[in-house]
Structure 1
């Protein structure tokens, strides 16, 4: 009984002290495709994607413009600030997606992750990404 309690306590302490590290490593080196904004499916013609690389470098396509920068993950909140992006004019539907993506990434979003789906819940928008593949 004492052994089981000690093992459980050690496991909980490890999870609590390193919980964000597990999330960080789960997010890195993956290619995510945006599936929905605020629960509404993104039009298949709008190519919005997100990649988080080594040292939490971040890049992708917001709606019609490419973006890149550095992200951080603190207390379960992902924030990418500042982000640089190209400045092409977007069609209205793509612009709505782009604005939601860039605002959510720069203002910060609570991360939920189950291995195949990534949810970023910001102040104004919730972005739902699906795992496209693993980056090499």
Structure 2
């Protein structure tokens, strides 16, 4: 968990399909807390869960999500994100890049979100 604790990651692609921002919504992202909690958005709905990291296997507890609707393409992308998280993906971390790989070998790429400096 140490590699992820206290970090936020934004999806650049889901299974190789680039993620463009959804108007009036956030891009899919994950925030890992130090206490084993995780929260984020699939791009339409917000979710919260717990997580464990055993070696390179990332496992999430049951996801609690909001139930808002979106346009079909964005709903499909959100389903893909949630299915990825539910499938206990393996992870690779290389600096500011996190790659989640599902059981079929499909990879999704995320980039670490850095805090904006306070002026």
TM-score (norm 1): 0.75
Task: Look up the match of 1:81.
Answer: 61
TM-score (norm 2): 0.85
**What is the deviation of 1:26?**
2.0
**5+ long unaligned stretches in structure 1:** 1-23
More helix by share: 1
CA distance, structure 2, for counterparts of residue 83 and residue 107 of structure 1: 12
Task: Look up the match of 1:132.
Answer: 113
Number of matched residues? 111
**5+ long unaligned stretches in structure 2:** none
CA distance, structure 2, for counterparts of residue 94 and residue 56 of structure 1: 28
Task: Look up the match of 1:71.
Answer: 51
**What is the deviation of 1:96?**
1.6
Q: Deviations over 1:51-83 (max 9, x none)?
A: 000122100001200000101112311011211
Task: Look up the match of 2:87.
Answer: 107
**What is the deviation of 1:86?**
0.3
Task: Look up the match of 1:61.
Answer: 41
